[in-house]
Amino acid sequence: MKNSVACPNCNSENSFYNSVCSSCKYYLRDRIYNLDLWTIISSLIESPTKAFRTIIFSEHKNFIFFILFFVSIKYLINARFIAMLSVGEFQSSIGLQLSYLIVFGTTLFYFFIFPLLYKLSSKRNEVNIRFKDTLALIIYSQIPFLFGLIILFPLELVIFGDYLFSMNPTPFIIKGTIAYLFLVIEIGLVIWSIFLVFKGFRTQSQNLFFSLISASVFVVLFWTLIYFCSLIVFTI
């Protein structure tokens, strides 16, 4: 396997995520039982590789559903902006709660299906991975959208109010400079998330080309789903 490690005691090959040698039971590294959310968030900013190694090595993948629950709110907000750009003015007949459930359900389904397909693909590329590691990696890579929800979105609401989701006039007409600044930050969050997806796959597989292809497929498919969610949620 391309992402294996050799036991320093018996020199046998072990999976990257093993804490104990499968042959001689020699300890390959310290055991990590749980994840600390704030420590992981700070590590994702300072050293993403270190953060993802900790996530992979941890026996319990804490907070993944907590993160997914809240970032799905941000996905819903982004889906509304996408719908504004793709169809213009619209009047949705679906309530806010149902809209969120559609986006959350679609995201949850995709985040469970992709690790399964990724695992099948990894075997063909001689990369040994676990489903739960991949699931945790892609969810923690969405942390930038958590910042967008908690910090950026409230500021946008305060500044633009009801006009935040308006096409006539748009926020770019009301306060152009600030609107473009927010747009740049929003794009920056997306790019940061894409980078984290790639770093997560790179840390896990230790294969540059395979990680680059996997991250590209994940991102393209995910935002395609968000686009179709925007059509379903905000145009019906």
Predicted local distance difference test score (pLDDT) of residue 92: 61
CA dihedral 106→131→19→8, nearest 10 degrees, is -130
Residue 11: the pLDDT is 87
Model confidence pLDDT, tens digit, residues 181-208:
999 999 999 999 999 999 999 999 988 9
Q: What tens digit of pLDDT does each residue of 4-20 get?
A: 888 888 988 888 888 89
Cβ atoms of 64 and 72 within 8 Å: the answer is no
User: Crossing angle for the helix pair 176-205 and 48-57, nearest 10 degrees?
Assistant: 50
Which pLDDT score is estimated for 188? 96
Question: Using one digit for the tens of pLDDT, what is the confidence trace for 218-229?
Answer: 999 999 999 998
Cβ atoms of 80 and 165 within 8 Å: the answer is: yes
Per-residue confidence (pLDDT) for residue 88, from 0 to 100: 61
Residue pLDDT, tens place only, 123-135: 887 888 899 999 9
Q: What is the pLDDT of residues 54-82, one digit of tens each?
A: 999 999 999 999 999 999 999 999 988 88
pLDDT at 17 (0 to 100): 86
Over the stretch 76-107, which tens digit does the pLDDT of each residue have? Answer: 999 888 887 766 655 666 777 888 999 999 99
User: Is 51's pLDDT higher than 70?
Assistant: yes
Residues 227 and 151: their CA atoms lie apart, in Å, by 24
The answer on pLDDT for 120 being more than 80 is yes
Of the two residues 230 and 211, the one the predictor is more confident about is: 211
Q: What is the mean pLDDT of the chain?
A: 89
* Residue 1 pLDDT level (bands cut at 50, 70, 90): low
Two tokens, residue 193? 């998330």
